[in-house]
Chain A
Amino acid sequence: MSAMALKSPDRLELLQGTLDMIILRTLLLGRAHGHEIARHIQRTTEDLLQVEHGSLYPALHRLERRGWVAGKWEKASERNREYKYYRLTVAGRKQLLREQSKWEQLAGAIGRLLAAGQEEES
């Protein structure tokens, strides 16, 4: 995903496909519209990961097309306005699990690799 933004050097560049996982993970908490998702990602990662809002929508629509999320125009709870709320589908939940375990394996492997390097160094 080349649309990932790097606003400052200490912000992390997202690996390809990671945005999808993050969106799915966000929706695990319940329905959310695009703006809420963007805000949520920024808050929970303490602005470390900043998603360019523009890249969120192609990702959402892609996920929707694959059937992992379902979008629907619904009234917001606190105000009298309709937004397109996304929800996680059953297939999306499974996909999230798959991605998560893949990510954990990858992270674990890299962690071990780096740890081994440190041992050699010391």
Chain B
Amino acid sequence: MTSITENADPRAVARSGTDQMIALAGMTLLFAVLPWTGIYPYFVMQALCFALFACAFNLLIGYGGLLSFGHAMFLGTAGYISGHAAKVWGVPPEIAILLGTAASTVLAVVTGFIAIRRQGIYFAMITLALSQLMYFIYVQAAFTHGEDGIQSIPQGKFLGFLDLSQAMVLYYVVLAIFLFGFLVIYRAINSPFGEVLKSIRENEQRAVSLGYRADQYKLLAFILSGALSGLAGATKAIVAQNASLTDVHWTMSGEVVLMVLLGGLGTVFGPVVGAFVIIAMQQYLAPFGQWVLVIQGVIFVVCVLAFRRGIVGEIAHYTRRSL
């Protein structure tokens, strides 16, 4: 049976370090100069938040082989908590983001403990159901303001001196947060922990027989993924200055799956590419209303049927590199 990731090419592993370093440097440089090209900085910031979200999701499915269909709960929870902290408690933005991330981490510990009790298809259904549970809780909770969401969240001064109400300052803070999250994930997948995770994905029984506690590795991957999704959600709330039910709804969980699938499951840079393509598509196709959903559905179907490596996965395959 073909595994969910077809993007692991052993020929490429030996030189993957150099290739990926060059790609990483290129990506950083591109993002550093992007706001000077006349492109709307808020669009890039939003896309960077989703890119981090997608990278965190990819850590779980691409390297752990676990398909979570409820990742919106981490994005949304962190958004609500950081928004509430910044607006109602009046804490500075860095503390708000930390609190949001911490809340998602705690949620990931609890939901991960429950969800890893079943595998494969059941894992996907359980995470979806848990995220729907969180959705209904947020619909009823007073602090989320139901359908309205938390509006006009103050941006404040990051670390006391970076005024986030200025677009350029906000942009580089967001970029720094994105790069931090990206490097954490990059480090994790290239560490002994990442290697064990991949071996569990390929053959869980064998990994267990070698003495690895598969459940603990899966739980740790789930928590790390949930925490970084939270970081993305908290940052997004500060950027967009609102936190709403959209971010906890199951359609958001589906969207991040689509980003990663389109970019390339199990590739390092695929989720970033996928997130930018999907966010750009939503931006440009917004006038078509509900047809955006239909187009996303078509992309899903085409990706699954004919394009399972994704954009970066195809590039990596033809250039025989690991990206």
A and B physically associate: no
| B residues apposed to A, CB below 8 Å | none
